[in-house]
Amino acid sequence: MFRQEVGDAVVDQARASLTDRERDELESAVPAAWIPVTTIDTFYREIARQAGRDLESFYVSVVKRGISQTLRSVWKALLRLTTDRALISRTPIIYARGHSVGKIVSEITAPGRATVVLTGWPDMPHLRRLGVGAGIEAVLEMAGRKDVSVTFEETDDGAIYQARWRSR
């Protein structure tokens, strides 16, 4: 995803600028392992710096691209058939597959509106809070919802997200 976003040279330069420990953590990762958030965030920061991009907009773009690639083909078609309630109720499951800390509770509060509460991550970095919001937004967009917006408020142990959309 990084290479598609900014190119090989930028990613290679960013990787080279990491500490030996951070490089080892990235390069030795296997699919079932968790890489420390601090290492991943340092890598994101360095790629954005090398590319001359704003970190937050770069991160949101990469998160959305990753979710889009994950949910292509059959899943995308199935998402479009899913009700708003079923889609929002699966938010905790989707979150848990990508995160080893924290948990989510979600509910539809009105047609085209949902509240998603993330708890259990008291030292959650701002970038991660931003990424969870981008992920919620990307799934709703992939499911064919229109005019999607997700805002969040940081809390002591996570964040509260407010999602809005217009159904198909």
pLDDT tens-digit readout, 31-54: 667 788 889 899 999 999 999 999
pLDDT at 106 over 80: yes
1 pLDDT band (50/70/90 cuts)?
Answer: confident
pLDDT at 5: 85
Query: In terms of pLDDT, which residue wins out, 88 or 94?
Result: 88
Domain made up of 82-166: CATH architecture: 2-Layer Sandwich (3.30)
3 pLDDT band (50/70/90 cuts)?
Answer: confident
DSSP state of 128: H
Cross-sheet strand order for the sheet of 146-155: 103-110, 113-119, 158-166, 146-155
Angle (deg, nearest 10), helices 55-70 and 126-142:
40
- Cβ within 8 Å of residue 27, ≥6 positions away: none
Note the pTM of the prediction, 2 decimals.
0.83
pLDDT at 69: 79
DSSP state of 100: S
d(CA 141, CA 144): 5
Q: Where are the domains of the chain?
A: 2-53, 82-166
